[in-house]
Copies of this chain bind each other. A is one copy, B any other.
Amino acid sequence: MLKPYVLGIDIGGTNTVFGIVDARGQVIASDSIKTKKHTNFDDYVKELHDGVQRLLEKNDAEDKIQGIGIGAPNANYYTGEILNPPNLPWGPIIPLAEKVSKAFGGIPVAVTNDANAAALGEMTYGAARGMKDFIMITLGTGVGSGIVVNGQLVYGHDGFAGELGHLIMKRNNGRMCGCGRTGCLEAYCSATGVARTAREFLEVRTEPSTLRNLQIEDITSKDVYDAAVAGDKMAKEIFNYTGTILGEAFADMVTFTSPQAIILFGGLAKSGELLMKPLQEAFDRSLMPVFKGKTKILLSELKESDAAVLGASALGWEARNRFDNAVNEVTGAEPEKA
């Protein structure tokens, strides 16, 4: 008999959020632990398990979990591992799926990176319901992406496909990127990128700006947003600059998979017309004629507080399916229909 819930777990640099999710995409209950409290991965898994167990008991859901989906930076769908995470304390290769599945008595676990999880969440419960071809772009500290083609997430031959934040947008004198190269989209169009643009504009230009009242090294994308909303000209130009690069990048993305939509998620995506207007203009101007007017740019329809858990949970249903298939291969039984 199929169980009614999945567990979604989102491992972020600061918090690990987990939630019980039903088939209609309702987060029944959720809680979180601090990600970096334990430098030993087994201790982290134990605390995660205890936290989840408490949540399951409180919600009378102890035997109702079909599968567990986990979104984590650099997590690999094929191997179930986290590989060289820039921001987690447990070493270069973390056997995430294996250890979590073992802690939960063998419940099937599937993992992927956070942007892929966001794409799955959007496809299962959000703005991409019914779409077979779309691209999810997450604008946070970095720029992440999840690509869906023919209704399937694109993992590539090694599980690491979909690094569109690292398309090269400036081939000469590009900014240093965290990936070790220069000129990546992420170096310009993440929250961090917006702050860097602000510092660059303030240093190179001479016109007045309310941003000059702030400590230049402490400026955040939120400061730039607030200044722009208050009418600061330079702050608006920073959003123009950011949106234009994003729009040009999106036009390149369309030449790949010709998606029905590109869907934006994350803090920066909530900048409204400040970002969306120059983005849409640059996108329309930059598209190949054959693609003009076809691909929509949309905002995520998932509530931000639920999105990470929902995205990860979408993978939990798939983890169950993979398990069923494996069992069927052995037993020859017919799969149950949901």
> Chain B's nearest CB lies how many Å from the CB of A253?
8
- Chain A's interface: helix, strand, loop or mixed, by majority? loop
Q: Is the CB of A171 within 8 A of B248?
A: yes
Considering the chains assembled together, what is the distance between the CA atoms of A251 and B150 in angstroms?
A: 24
A256 / chain B contacts, CB cutoff of 8 Å: 147, 154, 161-162, 164, 253, 256-257
Choose from B150, B160, B252 the contact partner of A150 (Cβ within 8 Å). Answer: B150
Considering the chains assembled together, what is the distance between the CA atoms of A262 and B290 in angstroms?
A: 24
Choose from B248, B255, B260, B294 the contact partner of A164 (Cβ within 8 Å). Answer: B255
A133 / chain B contacts, CB cutoff of 8 Å: 156-157, 161
Identical chains bound together, number = 2
Considering the chains assembled together, what is the distance between the CA atoms of A255 and B145 in angstroms?
A: 10
Considering the chains assembled together, what is the distance between the CA atoms of A103 and B289 in angstroms?
A: 32
Considering the chains assembled together, what is the distance between the CA atoms of A331 and B84 in angstroms?
A: 54
Interface residues on A, range: 35 or more
Choose from B158, B289, B290 the contact partner of A294 (Cβ within 8 Å). Answer: B158
Choose from B83, B166, B248, B259 the contact partner of A255 (Cβ within 8 Å). Answer: B166
**Known A150-B152, A252-B168; contact A161-B257, beta-carbon cutoff 8 A:** yes
A158 / chain B contacts, CB cutoff of 8 Å: 258, 291, 294
Query: What 0/1 pattern do residues 148 to 182 of A give for CB contact below 8 A with B?
Result: 01101011111111111011111100000001110
A residues at B contact (CB < 8 Å):
83-84, 131-133, 147, 149-150, 152, 154-164, 166-171, 179-181, 248, 251-253, 255-260, 286, 288-291, 294-295
Pull 21 A–B residue pairs with CB atoms less than 8 Å apart, ordered by A: A132-B157, A133-B161, A149-B150, A150-B152, A154-B256, A154-B257, A157-B260, A157-B295, A158-B258, A160-B258, A160-B291, A161-B258, A162-B258, A164-B255, A164-B256, A167-B252, A168-B248, A179-B289, A180-B289, A181-B288, A253-B256
